[in-house]
Amino acid sequence: MGMTITEKILAAHADKDRVSPGEMVMARVDMALGNDITAPIAIEIFEKTDVRDVFDRERIALVPDHFAPNKDIKSAEQCKFMMDFARKHNITHYWEQGEMGIEHILLPEQGVVAPGDLVIGADSHTCTYGALGAFSTGVGSTDLAAAFITGKAWFLVPESMKFIYKGERNRWVYGKDLILFTIGRIGVDGALYKAMEFTGPAIEQLPMSDRFTMANMAIEAGGKNGIIAPDEVTEEFVKGRAERSYTLYRSDPDAGYAKEIELDVSGIEPQVAFPFLPENTRGISDVGEVKIDQVVIGACTNGHLEDMRIAASILKGKKVARYVRAIIIPGTRRIYMECLREGLIEAFMESGAIVSTPTCGPCLGGYMGVLAEGERCVATTNRNFVGRMGHPRSEVYLANPAVAAASAITGKISSPQELV
């Protein structure tokens, strides 16, 4: 029997000819990532050891993005602690706040992660990089500290689930809708500790931004990782970006899967995930009358330039509804600059929206959009758990950027088709 793309990457990094699901392996790490919340814990553990230096200063990435720009004294101390460590060890991939972005958009943009890589990060949405054909997964800060020392990590080789997407997408349907529909079908534990392999003609038609969105939310179905085999679209993205040589892996035709699921995307409309789980999905035509107080467009899930363009195409020439806050967060400095050049920032601000520097901010209830009791928010983020964006009796509804922008204008969850 052949191997899946996930198994091939793990085997290569464990210096084995092959691996099988359920096998424990020690594998080399191409990149170990920490942010301003998780890295300080790992650094504290690292500094309690007798190790004097990190395994490789070029294979560690430190990004201040969750509570940065610093929202208070504690977050300032967290960021400073991480910065001091980066300075002490001369970490190559450390970005100060004028250069940084949301980590899971920043690293692919900067060419720090590439196809065939094995990446760990002390953040659950590290699975984003699977869109490049890499094995990437979230770990705890203790595992990150161990990787700082050894450059390796333990892995239980996951079983793989194969998702085959066929048909033509309808207008206003994006990667966010495909993954929300999938999670709605299998549930938030439907791929528990599985590799979610996204395949099929409809995936091949997706731009990289939508692929990143799908891989990003594999964790919301319980997945160990999400992954898409690299193709011409992938190579066009990494060409001129990747700072290291890379390997393109694909699953063998006779690879074994725990389950294979076919989905016809032609029957999928824009999706909205109702509180308080990403599996509580409904098509936009079944949403009903849901009035809102806030819209957030951004996050590691949908803060790409393409997402900004989609939102601007809806908001341009229109006004955000009275008593609604619309917060737009470009994913990186480079994306922000391109939004300026294309006139998107002007369109956002003339509509009455707020434009923020890149930050995770409101996604985790950090700042830049925390909800009060009873408030409702439509967000392009990835989680809508109880209290995720603020008060435990607030509500978050997950949607794509077009639905979020349309909802900002109408003051209720709405289809963009209503405004076109």
Q: At what angle do helices 39-47 and 73-88 cross, to 10 degrees?
A: 50
Q: Which of 98, 90, 109 is nearest to 65 (CA)?
A: 98
- pTM, rounded to two decimals: 0.95
Q: Pairing state of beta strands 259-264 and 159-166?
A: parallel
Residue 335, C-beta contacts closer than 8 angstroms, at least 6 positions apart: 101, 105, 109, 303, 304, 305, 308, 358
Amino acid at 259: K
Q: Can you give the three-state secondary structure of 38-54, one letter per residue?
A: CHHHHHHHHHCCCCCCC
Residues 380, 270: Cα–Cα separation, whole Å = 12
239 burial class (0-12, 13-18, 19+ CB within 10 angstroms)?
Answer: exposed
What are the distances in angstroms from CA 65 to CA 41, 77, 96, 210, 365? 16, 14, 10, 22, 13
CB-CB contact of 120 with 154 (8 Å): no
What confidence score (pLDDT) does residue 386 get? 93
Identify the bridge partners of residue 62 per DSSP, sorted by sequence position.
34, 94
The CATH number of 5-244+255-263 is 3.30.499.10
In terms of phi and psi (left: phi > 0; alpha: psi -120 to 50; beta: otherwise), the region of 247 is beta
The SS3 assignment for 279 reads: coil
Q: Where are the domains positioned within the chain?
A: 5-244+255-263, 272-419
Classify domain 272-419 by CATH architecture: 2-Layer Sandwich (3.30)
Q: What is the pLDDT of residue 1?
A: 86
Q: What is the pLDDT of residue 419?
A: 87
Enumerate residue ranges in the chain where pLDDT < 50. Answer: none
Q: Is the dihedral of CA 44, 49, 51, 52 positive or negative?
A: positive
Q: Which DSSP letter does residue 122 get? A: S
- What pLDDT is stored for residue 255 in this prediction? 97
pLDDT digits (tens, 9 = 90+) for 156-207: 999 999 999 999 999 999 999 999 999 999 999 999 999 999 999 999 999 9
* C-alpha angle 127-133-8 in degrees, rounded to nearest 5: 100
Q: What are the CA-CA distances from residue 369 to residues 47, 300, 359, 378 (Å)?
A: 35, 16, 11, 12
CATH topology match: 5-244+255-263 vs 272-419:
yes
